[in-house]
Structure 1
Amino acid sequence: MNCPNCGEETTQKFRPFCSKRCADIDLAKWLNGSYAVPSQREEDLEAEVEAEDPMPKRPH
């Protein structure tokens, strides 16, 4: 298995990373928002649909 950050061979102690440095780099990416998990919240889905719809719906 290779380290996802640098590609070096991993070590058991820091798996899936090769060193504490690479593990810390990955953690920093999560903490500063470089990585993000897509939200499945209903409000986010509604906002996405509204952003795609060029004509707002009007009541009758």
Structure 2
Amino acid sequence: MNSTFMAILAIVMMVIWIMVSVELSKSPKKQEEKENSRRKLIVLMSVGMLFTIPVVVSLIRNFPF
């Protein structure tokens, strides 16, 4: 893959994982807020994993053995 594309993907991936950590540090008060927070975490972590996999595969392929 193009290195510029991988750099942009890595930056987006870092932003997503930062958003996950911020969401985890919040403490929701109401039950409804807990449900929304849980859904948000599931979506963010799923997208984060989908963005992390191509970056890791690309790094492994380009690593000289």
TM-score by length of 1: 0.34
TM-score by length of 2: 0.32
